[in-house]
Structure 1
Amino acid sequence: MRRGARAAGGFAFGGLALGLWLAAMGVAGSAQAATRVAVFPFELFDTSGEASLSGPKPEEAHRLALITDELRRRISAAGYQVVDLSPEEAKIADAAPFRNCNSCELPIARRLGADIEVIGLVQKVSNLILNINFQLRDVATGKVLRAGSVDIRNNTDESWMRGVSYLARNRLFDPPLTGKAAP
């Protein structure tokens, strides 16, 4: 029994030494580092004639937060590291809406240490017709890696969630992301 304990201890020490050597060589660290993703809040572009100067209606602001959180959850579940945006919250608010700022969110994503970013837009055509869009971009180059759009009918939590679910399954992760955008 003593001989088995010594052998097990030797294997444990050898495994630890190998792990430390791989980490020192940069092999283990790079293999384990998840791709960092900045998922910016979805924005509403209301072309329905119902838009107000004060911003989205409370129920639509709730739905924007709901689908943003759902997309973050799905990205995290796929093995990506979702970046905390709170250190740049004031700059994000100043730059919004991103659809009008000519990629002004890229420097924000860079400062946050993101590898890729996701921006989203919900266009409200009418109270029954909406369109959910997203772009996934390489933060270093600004190159669009993926984009998607889905039309939804009905302005409810369920319809918005179904739309973002469709986009995640059929545009964001299918086919699987490769290269720098892989988890």
Structure 2
Amino acid sequence: MRALLLIASLLLMSSVASAEPPKLVVFDFELIDTSLPGEFYGSKPELVRLDRISEQLRQELAQSGKFRMLDIAPVRDAARHANLQACGGCDLKLAGQLGADLEITGVVQKVSNLIINLNIYLRDVHTGNMVTVASADMRGNTDESWTRTMSYLIRNRILAPNYGKPE
């Protein structure tokens, strides 16, 4: 009887453990700036905004309770020195080193101060498969437009109940 209770409690504990949210790594967003102002004056305001929206995404996903956020500090330097969108899967390797189940990379493409696109890529670290992609265009290069665009994508794409799932 005691052995049966032990097995039942182990099964219960393993089912509770498997009910934990997936471990997620959100890498810092990258910038592709092909704008004329970026060419002449640099992309300093955009680099500050990249940090801000990366942190915004981490905080809102953590607050949702749907993910267990992992700190990227141990691999941040390596990630910043790689082009995560074109490194042949180094993002998956870095996320795997942290023990993540899922990972997010993102890129902001700035064509001009009026044409900017924000893209979020969510991938399964174990399979390498893309889980979902979220993208939105924004008009205007301001702190508010970047923050509002990120909020929209989080609310209506990443955390939307049926987004990215087949009908």
TM-score normalised over the length of structure 1 = 0.77
CA separation of 1:177 and 1:115: change in aligned 2, threshold 3 A: farther
SS of the residue corresponding to residue 26 of structure 1 reads helix
1:7-51 deviations in Å (ceiling 9; x for gaps)? xxxxxxxxxx99x924775223222x2211000011110011333
Pair 1:161 & 2:147 matched = yes
Are 1:44 and 2:2 counterparts? Answer: no
**Paired residue for 1:27?**
15
> Structure 2 vs 1, CA of residues 49 and 37 (structure 1 numbering), >3 Å: closer, same or farther?
same
Matches within 5 A, 1:53-132: 56-57=43-44, 59-79=45-65, 80-95=67-82, 97-132=83-118
Deviation of 1:87 (Å): 1.0
2:24–2:69 CA contact under 8 A, matched in 1: yes
Distance 1:167 1:147 in 2: 10
Partner of 1:172: 158
Q: TM-score, normalised by structure 2?
A: 0.84
1:140 counterpart SS class: coil
2:134 to 148, 151, 156: 148
Change (3 A) 1:127 1:25: closer
Find the structure with the greater CA-based Rg.
1
Q: Is the 8 A contact 1:23 1:29 kept in 2?
A: no
| One-letter amino acid of the structure 1 residue matched with residue 16 of structure 2 | A
Distance 1:44 1:162 in 2: 18
Give the drift of 1:93.
2.4
- The structural deviation recorded for 1:167 is 0.7
Amino-acid identity (%):
43
Deviation at 1:90, TM superposition (A): 2.6
Cα pair distance change 1:176/1:99, threshold 3 Å: same
What residue identity is the alignment partner of 1:69? E
Query: 3-state SS of the aligned residue for 1:122?
Result: strand
Answer yes or no: is the 8 Å Cα contact 2:132–2:164 preserved in 1.
no
Instruction: Give me the whole-angstrom Cα distance separating, in 2, the residues matched to 1:92 and 1:37.
Output: 15
Contact 1:42–1:64 (CA under 8 A) maintained in structure 2: yes
3-state SS in 2 of match to 1:147: strand
RMSD over equivalenced CA pairs, Å: 2.6
CA contact (8 A) 1:22 1:28 kept: no
Cα distance 1:92–1:21, how it changes in 2: closer, same or farther (>3 A)? same
